Amino acid sequence: MLKFIKSIPVTALVALIAAISIAPGTPASALTYNEPPDLSNDISSPTSLGTLNLGANTFTGGLTSDASDLSDAFSVVLPVGLSLTNIQYFATGTMSFVEAQGFRSTTTVPEFLFQASSTGGVNAGILSPPPGEHIFEAFVLCPLCQEGASYNLSWTATLTTVVSSDTSAVPLPAALPLFATGLGVMALLGRRRKKGAAKTTA
């Protein structure tokens, strides 16, 4: 085997190594984020979390009356080539004299993906929004909070994306022609070696 490798021209080895080294890696992992209770990111000033990736992107947080935290809002970018097909939201904890809790978006249809007077959740059927930035918010409606109403909630939102059905064919990676060339040269050299060995033994 070592003799065979030594017999391969340097140019073929360079092409093969270059193709392997610049070949695209594995797809990026889906987003995950945990939002601590605070007052810094309501719907008017969402936390920017970057680009959604293929698969289940999971976001968690907490809302508590102890911190007067009524809202956790974040913005994400839906890239071209992916469709947002499902949003799953679930909240657990306690609520006392709270009007409602839920999850909404200012940029999807419907806007109120989930709203209820008790804890719980839903798989939201949505009309997939167009590519671009989208804002989501876990919220509590508590008009009686100044009069003793209280809440302590933990929430989880999962935004699932799939490859868009109208996405055009994926172009060949730039490394593929180099890789194919390297393999082709190696195969050709292998055949020549076999023919040469056959002649010497004939």
Number of domains in the chain: 1
In a domain, 199, yes or no: no
The predicted pLDDT at position 54 comes to 95
This prediction has a pTM of 0.67
Is 22 a member of any domain?
Answer: no
CB contact set of 65 (below 8 Å; sequence gap of 6+): 142, 145, 149, 150, 151, 152
pLDDT along the chain (202 residues), means of 10: 52 48 54 72 84 94 87 93 93 94 88 90 82 94 87 94 69 50 60 61 56
pLDDT at 24: 43
pLDDT at 197: 56
Distance CA 170, CA 164 (A): 12
Query: What's the domain range around 85?
Result: 32-163
Nearest-5° angle of CA 74, CA 78, CA 81?
165
In a domain, 2, yes or no: no
In a domain, 137, yes or no: yes
Examine residue 67 and state whether it is found in any structural domain, yes or no: yes
Residue 179 lies in a domain: no
User: What per-residue confidence (pLDDT) applies to 181?
Assistant: 59
CATH number of the domain residue 133 falls in:
2.60.120.380
Q: What is the structure's pLDDT at 183? A: 58
